[in-house]
Amino acid sequence: MSKVLIIDDDKDISELIELILKKEGIDSDVINKPLETFDKIKKEEYDLILLDIMMEDISGFELCSKIRDLVNSPIVFLSAKNELVDKMVGYEIGGDDYITKPFDNNELVLKVKSHLRLNKRINHEVKKKINKIGEIVLNKESYEVSKNDKIIDLSSREFLLLKYLMENAGIALSKEQIFENVWGSEFGDIGTVAVNIKNLRDKLEDKEKYIITVWGYGYKFIRNI
């Protein structure tokens, strides 16, 4: 289920928005003290943030600029300010849309659902490019591998080997399977599998934490760490 964070120091309006979304089957959290946002987004992940602009403790524009690099979800402004210059400022600092108060309930629902669908598609595409198991992250698009956010320098063959193992995590793979799928018909012998497995383990500082030896058969990459 999608989850929305509503940030508005007007309790009545925020509760109304929460009720409107609840009727549409959309879960939400409400923050009436905007400075609490920082702690909240550290503990929870949200698919969309609805953010009022005119608040007492901190303006929505300032809050957006401070959290934009901390969250990937769309940020939609809610405001009685409807001048073009205000909207331009909102977009420039990282906002994704703008709903003018007083808002039409149907427009609010349509825009929220539209952004949630788009965010879901984007996340799906990202997940297809990223394979993450434990501390290891493999990016199929950039050909980069990192562990604890530190880039690991791998050869092209080591990268393809790790990619194949991670894509088949939890499955015991024979040396023959690995050789055929990673090296194909290229010149070499099956002994190169063990050599490259050792190199991977050394570079990932993996003493069979991730790549397990299946004695007499081959190797298996652990599915869950």
Residue-wise pLDDT tens digits, 178-220? 999 998 866 668 888 999 999 999 999 888 889 999 999 999 9
User: pTM for the complete prediction?
Assistant: 0.62
Where exactly are the structural domains of the chain?
Answer: 3-130, 134-221
pLDDT in tens, 121-137: 877 766 678 888 989 99
CATH 1.10.645.10 fits 134-221, yes or no: no
Contacts 24+ apart (CB under 8 A), 53-58: 53/77, 53/78, 53/79, 53/81, 53/86, 53/90, 54/79, 54/80, 54/81, 55/7, 55/8, 55/9, 56/9, 57/9, 57/33, 58/34
The second-level CATH assignment, the architecture, of 3-130 is 3-Layer(aba) Sandwich (3.40)
For 81-101, what is the mean pLDDT?
86
